[in-house]
Structure 1
Amino acid sequence: MLPGRGDDLQSMQRLNVAQTIQSAWPDADVVLTGLTMPFYRQGHATQRLHDEVIEPVRARHRGQIWIAGISLGGMGAVLYEREYPGQIDGLLLFSPYLGDDPIQNEIRSAGGLASWNAGPPQAVSSETFQHELWRTLKRWSDEPERARTVWLAYGDNEPFRVPIELMSPQLSADHVMMLPGRHDWSLWTPAIGKLLARVSSASKP
């Protein structure tokens, strides 16, 4: 679980995030991370997530590995998918931060994400990360099998609703949940349980 901008490892422990996940997925081993804003600013977030969390977990367990991210952490989950494609079994995005108005307006002016020309890939930096984030989201149009591993929940009264709905058509409709609420834990705590329950239901034969 990757925290949002206003959270860290201690706040997620205080909010009983692991217990909320395990109430829906009782067999899950939950790793809460402290991947906060400074790591993104330094450009080390995805590498540290891979080296210090994902690879050690993979060495210990043979089961599936999913990344869940809240807000800023949702962006981190998508950027991890960009840097390490196919390394995880699924993404759970809760109100993901998807950049600022200029890149979103550029995509809308192009007629939507499917029509947008992302241009040649660029190294991720403070100047390019938003562009590369949306490039990864666009790639799901061409890789529907990858999009089927992504699940999304967000609120009907939050500031990120507009960019999220610019992205959400890339996903299967039944993988997207819009719930009543704002951009805070009064939304995310119930959203975790509801989204995980939907994933479980979809995986049943």
Structure 2
Amino acid sequence: MSPALRTLRQLNGADSLLLLLPGAYMTPEHFVEHGFFRAVEQRRLKLDLIAVDLGLDAVSSGDAIPAVVEQILIPARTDYRRVWLGGISLGGLLSLGLNADHPGIVDGLCLIAPYPGSRLTTNAIRRAGGLDLWQPTTEEMTDAENRVYCWLKAPPADFPVFVGYGTEDRFAAGMSAIAARFPAAARHTVPGGHDWPAWQILWEHFLDSGHFTA
């Protein structure tokens, strides 16, 4: 059994939960320090929050996501009417990967500045002439990033997604390619880079997008 994940929680008895996955070198405390929990509380949204501490070692070894599924998401399916998954940067990519590998386990995605993956992955897609023409081999599908992009080829039309990033983000080109796979209403950009000021504004846009009521 995986070690118990460390989490920070803001629970108010809501019937919806959003699980936040951190970016690289990020802890659950960063979500609190930068006002993510407070913004939900100020809006009095019917939304519980859990921010989880993953650690790069657990992500690299492949242990992190199974632990998230077993310890948080499976129990949440019993406790909540709706369960959303979100993350910043690497956490956004991990959210996409978890959703791709476990269809139906979450009801929506909040992707803030989602890291587009390694150049090995994105260059292979570019050389193929773009995502629609790219056809991964069976061996390539053993890689989590390739499974993300395979899912992005045809996301379910009725699957709720929010995806946003700063226009000066150093990964903006790759993030734009991810965002383009979703309807225009799901896509959001703000001035700024790959940093908390842009992410805070995007979080507020997400909370004000009407997915959760006060």
Q: For the superposition of Structure 1 and Structure 2, which TM-score range results when normalised by the shorter chain?
A: 0.7 to 0.9
Pick from 127, 140, 144: which aligns with 2:157?
144
Contact 2:111 2:161 in 1 (8 A): yes
1:46 aligns with 2:65: yes
1:155/1:112 Cα in 2 relative to 1: closer, same or farther (>3 Å)?
same
Pick from 200, 203, 206: which aligns with 1:189?
200
1:133 aligns with 2:152: no
Contact 1:98 1:133 in 2 (8 A): no
1:52/1:119 Cα in 2 relative to 1: closer, same or farther (>3 Å)?
same
Pick from 167, 170, 180: which aligns with 1:156?
167
Q: Unpaired runs of 5+ in structure 1?
A: none
User: Deviations 1:112-153 (Å, cap 9, x if unpaired)?
Assistant: 2122112336565xxx2322222222242xx3333xx22101
The separation in 1 between residues aligned to 2:132 and 2:43, in whole angstroms, is 34
TM-aligned CA deviation for residue 174 of structure 1: 1.1
Identity of aligned residues (%): 24
SS at match of 1:151: strand
Pick from 64, 78, 89: which aligns with 1:59?
78
The separation in 1 between residues aligned to 2:183 and 2:87, in whole angstroms, is 19
Contact 1:113 1:167 in 2 (8 A): no
The separation in 2 between residues aligned to 1:23 and 1:200, in whole angstroms, is 16
User: Deviations 1:149-183 (Å, cap 9, x if unpaired)?
Assistant: 22101000011101112222210011000110111
Q: Normalising by structure 2, what TM-score? A: 0.82
Contact 2:97 2:145 in 1 (8 A): no
The separation in 2 between residues aligned to 1:21 and 1:33, in whole angstroms, is 17
TM-aligned CA deviation for residue 10 of structure 1: 2.4
- How many residue pairs match? The answer is 194
1:94 aligns with 2:112: yes
The aligned counterpart of 1:118 is 136
SS at match of 1:186: helix
The separation in 2 between residues aligned to 1:182 and 1:193, in whole angstroms, is 16
Which amino acid in the other structure matches residue 159 of structure 1?
R
Q: Unpaired runs of 5+ in structure 2?
A: 1-19
User: Deviations 1:81-118 (Å, cap 9, x if unpaired)?
Assistant: 12211111100000011212232122122222122112
Contact 1:137 1:167 in 2 (8 A): yes
Pick from 175, 180, 191: which aligns with 2:186?
175
SS at match of 1:88: coil
SS at match of 1:92: strand
The aligned counterpart of 1:82 is 100
Q: Which has the higher helix share?
A: 1
The aligned counterpart of 2:16 is none
Across the aligned residues of Structure 1 and Structure 2, the Cα RMSD in angstroms comes to 2.1
